[in-house]
Structure 1
Amino acid sequence: MYTYNEIMNQAEKLEKTKEIVQAQTFNDAEVDITLFTGCGTSFYLAIAAARYYQSATGEIAVAVPASELFLHKDTHILANKKYNLIGISRSGTTSEIIMALEHLKGDTNIQSMAVTCNGNTPMANAADEVIALDHISEKSVVMTQSFSNMLYALQLYAAKKSNRSDLMNQLEEIPALVKVALENGEPLKQVTEDKNKTRFIFLGSGAYNGLAKEATLKLKEMTQTECESYSNLEFRHGPISIVDNETVIILFTQKETQNFDQALIKDIQKLGGFVVVIGVASEQLEADVIIKLSDNLDDLNRLVEVVPYFQLLAYQRAIFKGFDPDKPRNLTQVVNLS
């Protein structure tokens, strides 16, 4: 299966991505705001990348769906601010990305960069700079290794822009850690192969909120499962009302959220929910399943290490339910507006 193979060979692809980005030089012109944009998976990637970039560089970074930039330009672009617009698209042919770049073309306060897995495309040609990951050539409809590699590329880009060797040193460990993660998906079968689990909810805060949204999309695309995503503590404010004994909560924990996560886990379990925790869990943290990650990276630098787990979860669930992950319902590899 294309989808399975593209999930499982991510580690070697990440090594190549690292080489490509580390060898590049980038525009060092000062801007006021770095604006990350994309559609679907690429927008969720933009959310995580923007929050990482702001933390790494100390500069303002935001994420906006590509369509918003031509539908509601004035609510996102200020004439008296300078922008670096970073457009993200696996194919480089996504309609809304190209429309956004064309709509903003000629604005002297905007410079642009394309991040794509196809460097010979209209999107790449329309941007001032390009990170082209041409070694990523997915045959599957759903984005898997393209997501992890473009996110990794943008983290490496942020580390280079900030001139922070501490970040770069940690990011260099990611391919090896992803290889380990890809071999550690067995515990997920406790929920992916349980017919009594029908509702899945992903919780992640900060940059991990982008991962939670992407995890939800992967499960929807591959299995049409009812699923949602929230920021960890926001889940308490209404959505927790749907928890029952058919509900699985996948919680991405971080060092700075753990003290709050434990209380949230207990509240969910009292209502019958089954909780899977993924992250650097302390010995005191209790849940139904804990996938404990190593403690040698900061949480922000390990974003890509987490990705294989929710991709494997979606794949395992699809196989269990008899779906073909290579042929998701109602979807095509590239979305073009008619």
Structure 2
Amino acid sequence: MNDTEAEITSQPEVWLRSLALSDQAERELVAPGERMLVLGCGTSWFVAQALAELRESAGFGETDAICASEFRPRRRYDRILAVTRSGTSTEVLEALRTIPPSARTVAITAVRGEPVDDLTDAQLVLDFADERSVVQTRFPTTVLALTRHAFGENIDRVVRDGREALKVDLPKDPAEIDHLVFLGTGWTYGLANEAALKVREAAQAYSESYPAKDFRHGPVAVCGPRSLVWSFGNTDPELDDVARGAGATAYRNRLDPLAQLVLAQRFALALAAHRGLDPDNPRLLTRSVVLTP
């Protein structure tokens, strides 16, 4: 078992372990009535998208998600969350340096004592969810599991479905797939983005992600018999017929969307194995993007 596989397998138990941080997570992530911004790069940006949608739809306040490299301090925020597994990503640190002192800043990270600590007022540290692998799997899902718990969801079912996602059959033999399209709606659009990134990182494969109903507005044109169109959450079932009409395989299941992401991670790993790739050492990637001045 490689590091990536071991970390994927550990996720349901790590989610449960995160509940020890429930009080701090509720204080820092809920903040009723505050206008909040969530920053991140790569996987952390997609976590930010999901977190922002979950918070705002729960009625806690206006919440934006912005890729840290594109952040411009044009709006007033009461609180800014920076999601950064390593605490060292250059674009996240640069964004934090531009934030006015009136905003409370919180880092969601997996490592203590890194540069992000000096730029934030508080740190929510999920060190037990850190990974040896460059490819992130359990850190982002643990952030979202803890977030959902802090927002009042009972994650017992999430954990049960996560365990099930480690056992169910993959939706297709990876040898039969060259192209994946992940669809989501609401907070699951961020999950769709993350699933597509996992396929690109681990398996160097052609993968895309879209808000579900946008699939008909162009993306369907590149689908064919070796395409897998995978829907997260409560997307329109008619989209499955659209995918099949293009010759693609359409897939959805009844698992919680976070558990579905675990299954997508497994598929990315299987596709990497089929292609003879080492997911622990993805091409051209490092644990953290640290840019030289």
* Root-mean-square deviation (Å): 1.9
Describe the shift of the 1:46–1:98 C-alpha distance in structure 2 as closer, same or farther (beyond 3 A).
Answer: same
Partner of 1:73: helix, strand, or coil? coil
* Match in the other structure for 1:187: 170
Equivalent position amino acid for 1:178 in 2:
G
Write the distance in 2 (CA, Å) between the matches of 1:243 and 1:101: 40
Change in Cα spacing, 1:8 to 1:49, as seen in structure 2 (3 Å) is same
Scaled by the length of structure 1, the TM-score of the pair is 0.81
Offset from partner CA, 1:205-258 (integer Å, 9 cap, x none):
11111001000100000111111111111010111111221221111241xx4x
Give the match's secondary structure for 2:27. Answer: coil
Aligned-residue offset at 1:155: 2.4
Residue in structure 2 matching 1:46, options 48, 58, 65: 48
Q: 2:263 aligns with which of 273, 292, 309?
A: 309
**1:89 paired residue number:** 84
Q: Distance in 1 between matches of 2:31 and 2:3?
A: 41
Q: CA deviation at 1:144?
A: 0.4
- Aligned to 1:193, the other structure's residue is in SS state helix
The DSSP-based 3-state class of the residue aligned with 1:324 is: coil
Counterpart in 2 of 1:12? Answer: 13
- Aligned mate of 1:276, from 251, 255, 258: 251
Asked if the contact 2:232–2:257 (Cα under 8 Å) also holds between the matched residues in 1, the reply is: no
Q: Give the CA deviation at 1:23.
A: 6.0
- The 5 A counterparts of 1:1-338 are 1-22=2-23, 26=27, 32-69=34-71, 72-74=72-74, 77=75, 81-104=76-99, 107-157=100-150, 159=151, 167-168=152-153, 170-184=154-168, 186-188=169-171, 190-194=172-176, 197-254=177-234, 257=235, 261-277=236-252, 291-293=253-255, 302-338=256-292
TM-score, L = length of structure 2: 0.92
Separation (CA, whole Å) in 1 of partners of 2:264 and 2:25: 30
CA displacement at 1:152 relative to structure 2: 1.8
**How far is 1:172 from its partner?**
4.2
- Greater CA deviation, 261-270 or 92-101? 261-270
The aligned amino acid for 1:39 is: C
Question: Is contact 1:119–1:133 with CA below 8 Å preserved after alignment?
Answer: no
What stretches of structure 1 of length at least 5 have no aligned partner? 160-166, 278-290, 294-301
Report the CA distance shift for 1:25/1:205 in structure 2 as closer, same or farther (over 3 A).
closer
Contact 2:203 2:277 in 1 (8 A): yes
* Offset, 1:122: 1.7
Give, in whole Å, the separation in 2 of the partners of 1:201 and 1:307: 13
Percent identity of paired positions between Structure 1 and Structure 2? 28
Give me the whole-angstrom Cα distance separating, in 1, the residues matched to 2:97 and 2:11: 33
Q: Distance in 2 between matches of 1:239 and 1:322?
A: 28
Aligned-pair CA distance for 1:312: 0.6
AA at the equivalent of 2:36 = T
> Greater CA radius of gyration, 1 or 2?
1
Give the match's secondary structure for 2:104. strand
Please name the residue that 1:287 is paired with. none
Distance, in Å, in 1 between the alignment partners of 2:217 and 2:182 is 15
- 1:303 to 1:111, Cα distance in 2 relative to 1, 3 A: farther
Does 8-17 or 146-155 show the bigger shift? 146-155
Task: Report the CA distance between 1:275 and its aligned residue.
Answer: 0.8
* 1:11 and 1:179 in contact (8 A); partners too: yes
Distance in 1 separating the partners of 2:166 and 2:114: 31
TM-superposition CA deviations, 1:106-144 (whole Å, max 9, x none): x24311111011132221332112211111231101000
Distance 1:54 1:39, change over 3 A: same
